[in-house]
Structure formats: structure tokens, C-alpha cells
Amino acid sequence: MIKINEIFYSIQGESTFAGNRTVFIRTTGCNLRCTYCDTKYSYYEGEMWSFEKILQQIKEYDAEYICITGGEPLLQPEIHKLINILCDLGHKVSLETSGSKSIKHVDPRVKIILDVKTPDSGAADSFLLENIDFSSESGPASTEYKFVISSENDLNWSENFCRQHDLLTKFTVLFSPSHGQVSEKWLAERILQKKLKVMLHLQQHKYIWLPTTRGV
């Protein structure tokens, strides 16, 4: 049994899986409280779901891609079992996590997106550095690092973090503008000026639907 906030079907708006029809499984609970969090409803709302019920729901959408998100999915140990089952069924599974919990036991077939928290998130220093050692450098399930940038200070901090831990040569690194705090254009220009080996990462679902729309 896993406490689930919502299961919904949409177009993946994030990571290199963006654009694919995807079923999202949002778990309940988060150990962080980021200043820009747009899923505060996931902190407490939810119900216990059996694996059977989850799989039945997913089947209805006939989607190859499954995204496990939160909240923080790694707070519930049972998530590993669900992930194993989904991979065994042949789904392409991605996991969105803040990296504040260990990814050591995540199924290696899963694409992990590590959302490293910057100073302006209010949750800096929450990242477990050992997770870099457990990241996968190659293959279809290679780990992606995401930084949500809210200011020039965040940009510089993220660049330093990447250089310090040699992320730019090993992994796909995504720099995403924090909605309403810095513009897409500003971040695009700063990436170009600094000649950063990162991808400008826009949350596509916020352009397709209203940024406040839930369940997309």
C-alpha cells in the first residue's frame, strides 16, 4: 500500500522525456517546504492505494511512460516495489526526487531526475551528496540533474555546484526558470553568455495549460 495524492494522465512537461503521453503517480508527503512549491496539496492529501488498484488505474490509459512524482516519493519505502513492478511490465519509468533521500536502492532501469535545491528554494543543503555516486551516467536511464533558478545568485550557485561535482561532463543538466521569478528569456541569455553546457528546461505543461491547472 502506498499513500497516493493523485494519479493523472497528461503530456510529460519535464526532463528529456518531455512530450510523451505519461501517467503521473503523485505520492503524498514531502520532507521539504520549497518557497515556490506548486504542489502544496500533496503534503497531506491522499489515500492508501493497493498495488492492484494502482496498476488497474494505469492500464486504462495505455501509456508507455510512467512518472513517479510527489511530494517526495522516496519517503515511502514501498515505492521501490511499485517501481520494480512497473519496470517489469515494460514501462519507461521516471522518478522525480529532491535528492534529499538516498537513491541507492532505486531500480537501475528508472530515469531519475534529481531536483537539486538552490538557496532561493529555502531548502538548500538538503541534497545528499552520496546520491552523485549512485547516479547513472549512461544509457536510456541516465540520471538528469535539475536546478530551478530563481535569481542570479541561484544561477551562480547552481553553476558552482555543477562544476564542483563535475556534473556537466557526466550528466544531462537542466536549468529551469522559477515561474514568475525570472523570465525564460533572461535564463536563456545567461546560459548563452556563460556558455554553460546545460539544457534550458521549460515546464511545457505550464504553457499548454494555465500554470495553476492541477492534474496536468
Contact status, residue 19 vs residue 12, Cβ threshold 8 Å: yes
* CB nearer ligand SF4, residue 12 or residue 109: 12
* CB nearer ligand SF4, residue 74 or residue 196: 74
* CB nearer ligand SF4, residue 33 or residue 104: 33
Q: Which of 7, 23, 25, 34 binds ligand SF4 (CB under 6 A)?
A: 34
Q: Which long-range contacts (CB under 8 A, 24 or more apart) does 40-45 make?
A: 41/5, 41/214, 42/5, 42/6, 42/70, 42/71, 43/71, 45/5
Binding segment for ligand SF4 among 1-9, 27-35, 60-68, 164-172 (CB under 6 A)?
Answer: 27-35
Name residue 138's amino acid: S
Is residue 37 a contact residue for ligand SF4 (CB under 6 A)?
yes
Q: Which residue has the cell 532561493?
A: 120
Give the C-alpha separation, 91 to 156, whole Å.
37
The three grid cell numbers given for residue 123, joined into one nine-digit string: 531548502
Residues 46-85 that bind ligand SF4 (CB under 6 A): 70-72
Is residue 95 a contact residue for ligand SF4 (CB under 6 A)?
no
Tell me which residues touch ligand SF4 (CB under 6 A): 30, 32-34, 37, 39, 42, 70-72, 98
